Amino acid sequence: MESLLLLGFYILTFYAFLPGLISRIFGFRVFKRGKTKREIALTFDDGPDPTYTPQLLDLLARYDAKATFFVVGANAERHPDLLRRMKDEGHVIGIHNYVHKTNWFMRPATVKRQIHQTSEVIRKATGVRSSYYRPPWGIVNLFDFSNLGHLQIILWSAMFNDWRQRVGVKRLTKRLMKKLRPGEVLLLHDCGTTLGADEHAPAHMLEALETYLEEGKSRGYRFVHIEEMIEISDQMRARRFERLREQLEHPPKRPRIGLLKRIAVALWLGWERVFQVLFRVKPVKGDAIFHYRVRKYQGETLQLTDGEEIRKGDEVVELHLDNEKLFQTLSSSGSVIRMAIYVVREVGRAMPKLASELAGRPELDHVKGLYGISMINRGSQSFGFSTIDLPPGMFSRFTRIYLSLLLRVLHPGGGQRVREKKETLVPRIIAMSMTEFRRRYPVAATPGTRKRSADVSPSKTLPSQLEPLDKAARELTP
């Protein structure tokens, strides 16, 4: 008995659960969201309904909106006039099985027969065959991917529980408004006679949809059927690919840096070298991206995310990015995004090196944490840092001026970048307790060290950190 149950579990997993999961998460063989600038796709399931579908068609006509209707074959067979009206008014008709029953509980041959029956109903009423299929509840089985022939599976990016009358117009409208943005594929229902639905729920849907269409029209959105959405998405994808190919074949020339800029950079970097000598700022061994020094913290108490605190008078390891390396990266590419990706990779390599350098030094046992101030701080939590706003005051204003001036000097288009991203380029404190630092970046025990765990390869820190800092870098990209 146990073996039979286990066999049944395996069959259900591979026949139903895994195909559904793969199609949902990875979009394999399905379309569920578009890439557009101002188009939204409206789709309606379970109809046609003799009461609500004509009202819906009238509403769509008033707003010059096109939609896709995934019809249940049995309903469509009873109302071929509604199918003809859909086609005549420029809408697209898709298949939603002959009866509203999940594919999980039907054999492949049964699913195929359901699709064929519905396709024939559509062809007889309109003279054309459908090219689109949406399985009930969006559930596919293992054989759907090979069974469908020319049909494209269409899922959705947003659904609203609109088949339930108790949701009400107000809540339904609020949910719709959250999805008033390009590329969305909305799932709504123009019929409430299927199992689990409320017969008169479409009345609330129509009222909420009218408000949505009115607001969307005022904002310049277009409401399109799925065929146009796919075509626009394919065109945009092709243009992006073409731009990428052009960039690869014809890489941008290195930005030219004028004499005054070179003098300014040389003076600035010369001053930084003097600063490093005067204030005993040391490079992290192994050609790392930042330098450091140990000093007493003089600011307000920092409350860190792990519950630790850094108070005034506590000793901290103060971090300084190597601005000469940043300038070299910028001058070779002119791109802040490349600089930020470079910073991500180099910080990922430098943190274990810093941990190794600080390990086994008794004079640092009382250091409370790491501390620094940076404009590129979004995503630094992935390295273990807490990000804290600078308290308002003279120091905050001076720091903003200093770092803005630094970007102007280092970036070939820095002045423009500072003006365009004034709200984004906000310097913030990044800090981490030594407890958290040692937990995240342990080093191997060697003669002279007293307590450490297994060595950490720098490469292990990179994958999870690339995405958040790359996102932050895009906000600074020219």
List residues with catalytic annotation. Answer: 45, 189
Contact 300, 440 (CB under 8 A): no
Contact 339, 329 (CB under 8 A): yes
- Run of H or E residues at 387: strand 386-389
Alpha helices in 27-129 (DSSP H): 52-62, 73-78, 80-88, 108-126
Q: Count of alpha carbons within 13 Å of 385, Cβ hemisphere only? A: 25
Contact 118, 98 (CB under 8 A): yes
Residue 158: Cβ within 10 Å count? 17
Give the three-state DSSP class for 155: coil
Residue 354: Cβ within 10 Å count? 22
Contact 223, 67 (CB under 8 A): yes
DSSP-assigned letter for residue 459: G
Q: How far is the C-alpha of 102 from the C-alpha of 257, rounded, in Å?
A: 64
Contact 268, 406 (CB under 8 A): yes
